[in-house]
Structure 1
């Protein structure tokens, strides 16, 4: 139903619903405040409260806009998302390419729009609800995106890269200690996947960061694709993880209310350190 409504109405409804839901005490609201307190200790309580409220509006709005993103046609998505790219996207098949994204609230819109124009594969984490997972998988792949489950990602992704199709993935969430290292995120040790570095090395691929940001005044989104990281990967996966995390920090400082603070980024802690949630 939401896919057939004008985008401005859907977006404004999402903002209003987010404002309403923020007023209700919840575990996710506590997670947001914990993350902001850890990452921005010098920020006043008033500033963190303002940031948390703005972020909640963005998050709920992004969920509401899934109607447009999952069920809207290609033309509506192309009108919704403008693209700013530092590389020639028509040539990604000539060199193995990994697009590394980050969990800003607009990531879904950017990835969906990209798939309407260019062949691509995408790593995803299956959802616990089988019916919702099947719908998400079907709608995310309806423009031809090859969806790769994270549990079977390495071999499949390598085959895709070698066949000349770029792979999109995001490695900025806490998926557990396996194949991860602890690196500082805003000065706090965060369990961080090393998959980008390992896959790039195995596939001899360049790594190209991208961020999708929400534009002001309900003008949609901007998918910003950066230059490939130079001299990447290195011989040290931990160094590579720190480098990607430092890049992410720069982008978070630019649009802090749009990063996914509702995620338990510090769920796993270094040995001997107490839980924070």
Structure 2
């Protein structure tokens, strides 16, 4: 039975891999529309992910009407499923194809010959993958990633995300290696808006809800002397591709107060989510870990 299970997983993986390669050959507008349509279809099916989206939206945007929750949840589902379909071109598309799809607007000089140590602080919007791939086309970068449960998928993701030269660093051994990477002058790209439990985290508000928030960026910046530069990649309307915005480095960050640093990070994220709430990964259980004594919200 174990052998049959492994064979089934390999067949499923081979099918998904072939599908991604086919999607990479399609015009972007076709695959994007296909992803949106698939998201609309899957939204009609009851699922745990759909419940998570609705729970997150109700927590973060209270007092909205049922019609507004439904509209926003559907739009979010379409974007999320579409982002999975667009992995085809992001993971297997050519340099030229990705370069044409992603425009970059930066408040810092990306061509600087000897830039200071830099931590690029990203967030889980649906187009984060596209922006990260675009940056790695022309700039040396190291990127932190969370290993996936499937070894086959994990190896594929690591290989394809690093195919333009990005150095992939697993969160399992990230702290020492990341610090060494920053000290030798290579910028590091990571996202810190995930709930990884109580360790190295603090509870600070996210849209007024206590959220278990990682302090890793502030601690890494303090240890390395790196500047912290936020970036956000958004999906453009009418299937025009993506826009990556690189902001100015955060002033006076980190401070001497991890609580304040975490609060500033969440406040910045709130501003960006408020601009495009349908594009944030509400399918994640952002409030999975609760303060001691509080029940699960999911």
* TM band (smaller chain): over 0.9
Measured on the aligned residues, the alpha-carbon RMSD in Å equals: 0.8
Partner of 2:91: 70
> Which position in structure 2 is the counterpart of 1:208?
229
Q: Distance in 2 between matches of 1:95 and 1:29?
A: 42
Structure-1 residue corresponding to 2:251: 230
Instruction: Please give the alpha-carbon distance, in whole angstroms, between the structure 2 residues aligned to 1:87 and 1:109.
Output: 20
Match of 1:146 in 2: 167
The residue number in structure 2 matching 1:56 is 77
Q: Mark the runs of 5 or more structure 2 residues left unpaired by the alignment.
A: 1-21
The alpha-carbon deviation at position 91 of structure 1 amounts to 2.1
Length-normalised TM-score, structure 2: 0.92
**Structure 1 stretches of 4+ moved >6 Å:** none
Alignment of 1:1-277 (within 5 A): 1-91=22-112, 93-277=114-298
Secondary structure of 1:210's counterpart equals strand
Q: Offset at 1:93?
A: 4.4
Distance of 1:148 and 1:238 partners within structure 2 = 26
Q: Which has the larger radius of gyration?
A: 2
Conserved? CA contact 1:92–1:166, under 8 Å:
no
SS across alignment from 1:91 = coil
1:86 deviates by 0.3
Cα deviations across residues 197-246 of structure 1 (Å, max 9, x unaligned)? 00000010000000000000000000000000000000111110000000
Unmatched 5+ stretches in structure 1: none
Partner secondary structure for residue 220 of structure 2: helix
Tell me how far 1:92 sits from its aligned partner.
Answer: 7.4
